[in-house]
Amino acid sequence: MADSQATRQALRVFLTGASSGIGMALARAYAQQGATLGLVARRAAELEALRASLPDAQRHRVYALDVTDHAALQAAADAFMAEFGGADVVIANAGISQGTLTEYREDLAAFERILAVNVIATFATFTPFVARMKALPEEARRRCRLVGIGSVAGIRGLPGAEAYSASKAAVISYCESLRVELRSSGIKVVTIAPGYIDTPMTQVNHYRMPFLMPVEKFAARALQSIAEGVSYRVIPWQMGVVAKLLRMLPNWLYDMAFARAPHKKRNL
């Protein structure tokens, strides 16, 4: 009887971008807590390897797809909800980054791809779940979380990262709009803005990264923030202080300070 009750109370978590980096760390952390996971990423082999490494591997489901394929993403969400009766936590984590410069016309495709993955797919990830969550009894709704992964890079535009900064600023604003929209429902919309986290995405950077945090430590703090239902949190907190200070700088001073900042490499 106790086991049955624990199973009913286990979180059902649907997570995109699960095959590496922050997504993989979040998956491992939730699995350790006994959650049932729906894991989404493009690479089927990496997803299967991740699932096999998790506690109670047979409890979890994997969906190999590109989040810009909105029909496939909808089908995966529908399949997860049909099998497990819904979802408690939905994390739109899929994201890509590369340097882009407006002066190069060939960077337009990269700009479009970054916005499609980082912004449009966040909407497409949440869409299948909102109506189902709103139809739940009040107590169950208050357990629900829609989680967007922003970035400190979305707080002020970084040179050489035009597409990435724009995409993460859009995620932050979109999640804020959704949070206000869903306030009366009791569903929490949580925005997590990572600073520099030690993942494959940052390991290619050739410049100094202040307050670089191990991804496992980030995941633990993110899970706590999601459970608390905070509206917005920068992790690590030191980068949150930096971000607030940067936001306060007048444009002329910010421009002067960052005009020669190092650029993320373009994919040539």
Catalytic residues, by residue number, are 164
Cα separation, 251 vs 200, whole angstroms: 32
Cα separation, 268 vs 223, whole angstroms: 37
Contacts (Cβ under 8 Å, ≥6 apart) of 23: 15, 16, 17, 41, 91, 93, 94
The kind and range of the H/E element at 78 are helix 70-84
Q: Is residue 146 within 8 Å of 87, Cβ to Cβ?
A: no
Q: Left (φ > 0), alpha (ψ -120 to 50) or beta: where does 34 sit?
A: left
Cα separation, 76 vs 80, whole angstroms: 6
Query: Taking the C-alpha atoms of 90, 91, 92 and 95 in order, what is their torsion angle to the nearest 10 degrees?
Result: -160
Q: Left (φ > 0), alpha (ψ -120 to 50) or beta: where does 186 sit?
A: left
Q: Is residue 16 within 8 Å of 40, Cβ to Cβ?
A: yes
> What are the φ and ψ backbone dihedral angles of 212, each rounded to 5 degrees?
-55, 130
